[in-house]
Amino acid sequence: MTGRSGESALAQSFKALSDPTRLRLLSLVAAHENGEASVVDLTEPLNLTQPTVSHHLKILVDAGLLTRDKRGVWSIYALVPGALGTLGSYLRDAEAAWG
């Protein structure tokens, strides 16, 4: 979530994670070889079309949870280092403040 700050950035990230398909996508990308995957790698395990998977990936990129690296004709996606840890830290801090 580098380059973005504040509650609106956190809200965007949590909103992106509120969809079960996007949670599954994060898991699939993280578990894929070298922690990187293309849309082609992700359509079959999700049983979704390429445009649908691409749509969900764009939301995860815009939320600062995945990176997109263009390699020739392929777009390769990977987890943003530390992004999920940042969300976890926010939840721990919020729980401590509310507790």
Give per-residue pLDDT as tens, 41-76: 999 999 999 999 999 999 999 999 999 999 999 999
For the CA atoms of 77, 42, 11, 20, the dihedral, rounded to the nearest 10 degrees, stands at: -160
Residues 6+ apart with CB under 8 A from 53: 25, 39, 42, 43, 46
Beta bridge partners of 74: 71
pLDDT at 38: 96
- Please give the average per-residue pLDDT across 24-30, as a whole number: 93
CA-to-CA distance for 47 and 88, rounded, in angstroms?
A: 29
Domains of the chain: 6-98 (1.10.10.10)
